[in-house]
Each structure stands twice: as C-alpha cells, then as structure tokens.
Amino acid sequence: MNLSLYVSADVIRDRFSRAMSAMYQAEVPQYETLLDLVDQVNRDTLAHDPALAERLARYDEFERLGVERHGAIRVGSAGEMAMLRRLFAVMGMFPVGYYDLSVAGVPVHSTAFRPIDDASLAHNPFRLFTSLLRLELVENDALRERAAAILAERDIFTPAARELVERFESQGGLTEAQADRFVTEALETFRWHSDATVDLDTYEALHAEHRLIADVVCFRGPHINHLTPRTLDIDDIQRRMPEVGIEPKAVIEGPPRRDCPILLRQTSFKALTESIRFAGRNQGTHTARFGEIEQRGVALTAEGRALYDRLLGQSRAKTQGLDNESHQRVLAEIFAAFPDDEGELRRQGLAFFEYRLTEAGRAAGTVVETDLETLIERDLVEARPITYEDFLPVSAAGIFQSNLGGGESQAYTGNASREALEEALGVAIIDELELYAEHERQSRENVLAALGH
C-alpha cells in the first residue's frame, strides 16, 4: 500500500478547523472581533514577556497558538453520536474524557473529540466538545416521545459525507480530492439553520422543559454553538472585551491567575438572540450561539485534580455573586494552598511533566545517576509542563448556564453514565489522565535510556 496517496489526518483536521472558523466568522461577526482581540492580546503579552515567547518557541507551542481553538456541538441520538465518532476519526480526533453535565441541571453528557498524540497536538489541537442529549432524563412521556420522533426524522450528515467516511474506512485514507470534498461536506453538519424543522408551539413546549432540548431537537443539524481561541492572558481579554463592544460573562471560570497556570481558565460572551422561521411560517427567536476564550495551563495528576476540586469547592460559597475582580481575589486567596512553582508541582506529584535531555545531558553519554530530580538539579534533564488538552465539568456548567439563562436546576442530577455514552459512541472513551501519565512515563523512559539505563 502506498500511504503517500492519502492526505494525513492532521492535515484534514487542520483544513477542517480553518474552514469551520471561516464559516463561524461569517455567521457570527462578534467571533471575528474576538479573534482580532485575542491576536492583539497575545502579541502584547509576548512583547512584554520575552521569556514566555522564548519558552513557547522552545516547546513547539508557538505554531499551534494561532490555529488553536475548540468548538462545541450538541446532538440528539446515539446514532448521530456514532456517526460523528466515525467522521472525527477521519481527522484523527478520538473521544477523550467523560463529562456529566446533569450535575449542572443540563440533561446531557459529553466527551471531547481531539487528537491524542504529541505530533498531532502540535500540528493542530482542534477539539470539539460534543454533548449527547439524554431524553431518558425527561419525565414528561409525551414530550420525550415527541422529541425522539422528531430526531428520528433527520439526518445531520450529507450523503457525500457518509460516503466519504465509508471510503476512508475501507481504503484506509482519503486522496487529496476526496479530503477536500470531505471537508466541504463535513462542514455542512455544523452549519446554522435559520429555519426550524418544527412549528413554534412544539419549539415552545420543548423549550419549556429545557432550552437545550429545543436547541438540539428543533433544527436540521447540530450547529456549532461556539468556537474558542486560546489566549495567553485571559484577564486582559476579560478587561478589554467591552472596549470592542463585546459583553463578557460575569466571571472567568476555573482556577485563578498564577505564575504556573494550571488546567484551564475560560470566559465567554453572551449568546445572540437570532431570528428563526418556524414551520407554519411563524417567526420567532432562538438563543444558542456565543463566543468563548480560553487560557491553558499544565495538566494535573489525580492528586492535583483532587486538590483543585477541593479548593474550588471551598471557594464556591465565598465567591457567590461577586464581580470578577473580587471573585478572582477570593479564589487567589484560597488557591494559595496550591503550590505555584514547577519544582513543587512535580515533587509533590500534582502535575504532569515531560522530561527531556538538556544540551549538557545529550553531551553527557552514560550517567550513573537515575534520580530525575537530581538529574534536573545537575542540568542534564529538563522538565516541561504538559499542557492540559481537556475540559472542566464545573467550568463547562458555568459556560452552559451563562448562555442558557437561568440558574442551576437540580432536575437531572446524579445521572452519570459513562457506559451509556460509550455504547452510543460504539467505542470506549479514552481516559485523559492515562494519556498524560503515559506521555510522562514514556519521556522518563526515553531520558533514562539515553543516559544508558
């Protein structure tokens, strides 16, 4: 088999993510404004912090910064989820992580389709947070059955997209022409439709049960509901959004600002209210699409994550109702208990690191010492924080809520079912902690092997 006949999954994902961004910029002009702001803030940050610029370049993160984004969609049935899984596989994106949003009163559970190996992440880390509606959590029988019947009628994929996925699976790749066609056809699934498939009464009945149910059920497809560029200074973005006419959500989600950023910080702007034509020619509106910004830090181990969750839990009662400035101040006080030094994070086993030989290490040949901390002290080995590539359920809940309106509802809580989502996908969900741990372990082995062990 001549592999070079086929376009690599990384290249297809890169083309797709650019096409998606272009489509969303055309559909939602505020997103374009946001991208300009992020670009400006990233350039200002790098200009003021040459050490950060140098570090990004050294860590191969420079290239990906400009193309980096995630998006989100919500689908209605197991069949749609299974087909999406196959479609994303063409682009080297696999389901990683299980997120139960029922705890936030949203009747969905989710995974993120994303690249998993280092080279692919460095090429373009595009990820899609994908939620599956859980109609089984809706208690009203008539409404649940109505929604299921409507969903059963639609096909969110074009015939050509289906055919190209099958072609990919049978021949093991796509040729240049097929890959181009694939990007165009796959994009159709994520397009906005200003006409609903149902009448206004049906929309309102579903909306009254939960806004998200109406969003998933009433349209021809799972329109992309936001795209999220990566910034190097989210506090600056939050401050500057009003200057470009964008109103940010009240507070930045996630951990506070730190010297060693951890996990993920996110903020967004409110969803737009858009005009919709319903079946029977009634006019109405629907609110779904928004913009979001994220700043990423180091991935935490299970211990680090437990500490994060505990501190976040402690902060909850104390930050309730605060504006962003006070919220961040209180968070920072509480997170003083979370070591903010790379060496400490490593020695206490709170975060994941990738080990590499330094120049001195490469020149050293065989070295007797096997203790990594000693090797780091002797400047033979360096440890780089591994970037967190995933999502945070509490933050996601905050993003959902700020865009769905209304506060928390307990109606659907306590219903995590990873098995049900895996069954819908038709494959096991990859455990994100295992990916980071494996990455760290592999780098440790490589370093020790290079030093003669």
Residues at the contact surface with ligand OOG, assessed by CB under 6 A: 72, 74, 129, 131, 225, 266, 292, 391, 395-396, 399-400
- In the bound complex, what is the minimum distance in angstroms from residue 237's beta carbon to ligand OOG? 15
Q: What six digits make up the tokens of 210?
A: 């939960």
Q: Which is nearer to Ni ion, 296 or 439 (CB)?
A: 296
Between CA 260 and CA 374 the distance in angstroms is: 22
Q: Which is nearer to ligand OOG, 186 or 396 (CB)?
A: 396
Nearest to 388 by CA among 338, 422, 353, 418: 353
The CB density around residue 170, as the number of other CB atoms within 10 Å, is: 7
- Nearest residue to ligand OOG, using CB? 396
Between CA 134 and CA 101 the distance in angstroms is: 10
Binding partner of residue 450 among Ni ion, ligand OOG, none, CB cut-off 5 to 8 Å per kind: none
Q: Which is nearer to ligand OOG, 296 or 384 (CB)?
A: 296
Q: Residues with Cβ < 8 Å from 30, sequence gap 6 or more?
A: 246, 269, 272, 291
Between CA 336 and CA 303 the distance in angstroms is: 17
Q: Which is nearer to Ni ion, 72 or 271 (CB)?
A: 72
- In the bound complex, what is the minimum distance in angstroms from residue 284's beta carbon to ligand OOG? 21
Q: Which is nearer to ligand OOG, 27 or 369 (CB)?
A: 27
Q: What six digits make up the tokens of 301?
A: 């181990």
Q: Report the DSSP beta bridge partners of residue 128.
A: 71, 113
Binding partner of residue 227 among Ni ion, ligand OOG, none, CB cut-off 5 to 8 Å per kind: none
DSSP structure string for 18-43 = HHHHHHHHHH-HHHHHHHHHHHHHHH
Between CA 407 and CA 359 the distance in angstroms is: 54
Q: Which is nearer to ligand OOG, 173 or 255 (CB)?
A: 255
Q: Which is nearer to Ni ion, 72 or 165 (CB)?
A: 72
- In the bound complex, what is the minimum distance in angstroms from residue 445's beta carbon to ligand OOG? 33
Between CA 451 and CA 48 the distance in angstroms is: 38
Binding partner of residue 387 among ligand OOG, Ni ion, none, CB cut-off 5 to 8 Å per kind: none
The residues that touch Ni ion, with contacts defined as CB under 5 A, are 72, 228, 292
Binding partner of residue 278 among Ni ion, ligand OOG, none, CB cut-off 5 to 8 Å per kind: none
Q: Residues with Cβ < 8 Å from 141, sequence gap 6 or more?
A: none
- In the bound complex, what is the minimum distance in angstroms from residue 38's beta carbon to ligand OOG? 15
| Amino acid present at 423 | E
- In the bound complex, what is the minimum distance in angstroms from residue 408's beta carbon to ligand OOG? 15
Binding partner of residue 395 among Ni ion, ligand OOG, none, CB cut-off 5 to 8 Å per kind: ligand OOG
- In the bound complex, what is the minimum distance in angstroms from residue 96's beta carbon to ligand OOG? 14
Q: Which is nearer to ligand OOG, 20 or 380 (CB)?
A: 20
- In the bound complex, what is the minimum distance in angstroms from residue 268's beta carbon to Ni ion? 7
**Is beta strand 273-279 parallel, antiparallel or unpaired with respect to 195-199?**
parallel
Q: Which is nearer to Ni ion, 95 or 339 (CB)?
A: 95
- In the bound complex, what is the minimum distance in angstroms from residue 200's beta carbon to ligand OOG? 23
Binding partner of residue 112 among ligand OOG, Ni ion, none, CB cut-off 5 to 8 Å per kind: none
Between CA 331 and CA 314 the distance in angstroms is: 9
Between CA 426 and CA 207 the distance in angstroms is: 30
285, exposed or middle or buried, with CB in 10 Å at 0-12, 13-18, 19+? exposed
Binding partner of residue 96 among Ni ion, ligand OOG, none, CB cut-off 5 to 8 Å per kind: none
Between CA 197 and CA 338 the distance in angstroms is: 50
- In the bound complex, what is the minimum distance in angstroms from residue 97's beta carbon to ligand OOG? 11
Nearest to 194 by CA among 28, 17, 403: 28
270, exposed or middle or buried, with CB in 10 Å at 0-12, 13-18, 19+? middle
Q: Which is nearer to Ni ion, 129 or 168 (CB)?
A: 129
Q: Are 204 and 189 in contact (CB under 8 A)?
A: no
Q: What six digits make up the tokens of 431?
A: 């455990």
Binding partner of residue 225 among Ni ion, ligand OOG, none, CB cut-off 5 to 8 Å per kind: ligand OOG
- In the bound complex, what is the minimum distance in angstroms from residue 395's beta carbon to ligand OOG? 5
